[in-house]
C-alpha cells in the first residue's frame, strides 16, 4: 500500500513524507497507537519508498527490481522481526544486530521493521538500546508498538516517536470495504464500531469467522426448502451454525438485523434494485414487509432472551425457526 493510500493518519504521514523527501530521516522511529490503524502498513510504505530505485516524485514505481523484490517479499535489505511466541526475544535482537553490521546488499538503506515492541522485556530491550543510539550507517529502524501496553521508556527516549490515532468509524469502515469488496458498507460500519475504529481489529473479527457464518446463514434463509419437514431441519442446522460461534453471536444478530431493516427500507422507498446491495435486493424480493417486520421482531426476542441468559443454542433454534416461518403447525403442534 503506497504512502498516499494510508487513511486517517494525516499527521504521521505528513511528518514521514517530509523526512523522506528531504532525505532527513531519523535513524529510528517508534510508531505507537492503537492496534490495527496502519502502523505496520506505514512502515512498509516507507520501506517501499526507500527501496524503489526509479526517478519519481513520491510513490514507488512498482516496476524496478527494488519494487518487485519488496512486493514479492524477497528484498534482501528488508528485515521483519515479530515476536517469537509471546515476546521479541534477546536472541532475535542479537542476530539482527549482527546482520546490521554489514552494508545493505542492494538498496541504499536497509529497513528493519520490529513489530510489537511492547512485548519486549528489559533484557531484549537493553540489547536493542545501543543500536538505537548509534545504528550502523545505512540502516533505518522502525519500531511498532501498541498503546495497549507500556513500551520500555529507554526505547522510547531513543527513537523519534510518531503517534498514530484511532480512526473514525466511517474511515475504518471504508478501509474494511477496500480490503474486502464483498463486504456490505453497513456491515463494515458495524465491524468498525465494534472494533473502536481499528480496521486491523475489525478484520480479526472478520477472520474470526463471524462474517462467513453470517453469509452462510443468509444463504440458508434464501434457499431453505419449502417442504415443512426439511425446512425445520434446515432451521435447526442454521441454528447450530449460529450458536457455535459463541463470541460472535451479538455481532451476527446485528448483521442479520441490518439486512432485514435495509430490505424493509428498500420496500418502503421503492429503491431501484440496481442501487441495492445484492443481498438486500434478494431479501426484498423474497420477503414482503410483514415478513421482514416479523423477522426484525424475532431478532428483538432473541436479543432479550440472550440478555436474560437463556441457553444460546435454544435461542438460536427459536430464532431460526421464526426466521424461516416454521409455525407450530408445521412442527406438528
Give contact residues for Zn ion (rule: CB under 5 A).
Answer: 52, 54, 60-61, 64, 67
Nearer to Zn ion, 64 or 129 (CB): 64
CB of 62 to Zn ion, least distance (A): 6
Q: Which residues is 162 bridged to in the sheet?
A: 31
* Closest CA relative to residue 194, chosen from 202, 183, 203: 202
* Closest CA relative to residue 220, chosen from 232, 202, 204, 203: 232
CB of 39 to Zn ion, least distance (A): 23
CB of 56 to Zn ion, least distance (A): 7
* Closest CA relative to residue 119, chosen from 93, 158, 157: 93
Nearer to Zn ion, 52 or 299 (CB): 52
The position carrying cell 510513490 is 59
Nearer to Zn ion, 1 or 179 (CB): 1
Nearer to Zn ion, 61 or 273 (CB): 61
Beta strands 139-146 and 28-33 are parallel
What residue spans of the chain are helical by DSSP H? 10-22, 39-51, 65-71, 90-100, 122-133, 153-156, 169-179, 185-194, 199-207, 210-223, 228-244, 249-269, 278-286, 289-307, 312-323
CB of 175 to Zn ion, least distance (A): 25
CB of 29 to Zn ion, least distance (A): 22
Nearer to Zn ion, 58 or 61 (CB): 61
Nearer to Zn ion, 70 or 260 (CB): 70
CB of 64 to Zn ion, least distance (A): 3
* Closest CA relative to residue 292, chosen from 303, 282, 277: 282
Q: Tell me the three-class secondary structure of 21-34, residue by residue.
A: HHCCCCCEEEEEEC
Amino acid at each position: 500500500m503506497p504512502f498516499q493510500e494510508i487513511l486517517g493518519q494525516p499527521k504521521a504521514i505528513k511528518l514521514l513524507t517530509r523526512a523522506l523527501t528531504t532525505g532527513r530521516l531519523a535513524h529510528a522511529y517508534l510508531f505507537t497507537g492503537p492496534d490495527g490503524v496502519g502502523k505496520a502498513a506505514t512502515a512498509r510504505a516507507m520501506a517501499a519508498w526507500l527501496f524503489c530505485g526509479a526517478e519519481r516524485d513520491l510513490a514507488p514505481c512498482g516496476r524496478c527490481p527494488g519494487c518487485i523484490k519488496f512486493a514479492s517479499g524477497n528484498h534482501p535489505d528488508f528485515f521483519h522481526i515479530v515476536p517469537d511466541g509471546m515476546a521479541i526475544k534477546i536472541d532475535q535482537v542479537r542476530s539482527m544486530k549482527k546482520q546490521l553490521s554489514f552494508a545493505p546488499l542492494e538498496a541504499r538503506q536497509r529497513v528493519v521493521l520490529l513489530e510489537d515492541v511492547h512485548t519486549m522485556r528489559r533484557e531484549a530491550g537493553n540489547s536493542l538500546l545501543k543500536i538505537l543510539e548509534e545504528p550502523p550507517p545505512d540502516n533505518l529502524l522502525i519500531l511498532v508498538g501498541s498503546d495497549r501496553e507500556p513500551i520500555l521508556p529507554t526505547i522510547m527516549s531513543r527513537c523519534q516517536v510518531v503517534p498514530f490515532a484511532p480512526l473514525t468509524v466511517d474511515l475504518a469502515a471504508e478501509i474494511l470495504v477496500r480490503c474486502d469488496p464483498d463486504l456490505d458498507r453497513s456491515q463494515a460500519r458495524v465491524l468498525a464500531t465494534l472494533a473502536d475504529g481499528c480496521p486491523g481489529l475489525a478484520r480479526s473479527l472478520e477472520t474470526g469467522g463471524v462474517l462467513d457464518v453470517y453469509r452462510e446463514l443468509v444463504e440458508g434463509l434464501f434457499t431453505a426448502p419449502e417442504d415443512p419437514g426439511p425446512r425445520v431441519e434446515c432451521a435447526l442446522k442454521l441454528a447450530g451454525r449460529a450458536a457455535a460461534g459463541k463470541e460472535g453471536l451479538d455481532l451476527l444478530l446485528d448483521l442479520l438485523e441490518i439486512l432485514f431493516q435495509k430490505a424493509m427500507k428498500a420496500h418502503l422507498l421503492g429503491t431501484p434494485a440496481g442501487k441495492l446491495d445484492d443481498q438486500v435486493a434478494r431479501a426484498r424480493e423474497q420477503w414482503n414487509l410483514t415478513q421482514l417486520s416479523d423477522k426484525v421482531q424475532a431478532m428483538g426476542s432473541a436479543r432479550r432472551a440472550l440478555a436474560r441468559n437463556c441457553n444460546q443454542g435454544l435461542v438460536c433454534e427459536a430464532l431460526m425457526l421464526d426466521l424461516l416461518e416454521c409455525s407450530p403447525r408445521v412442527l406438528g403442534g
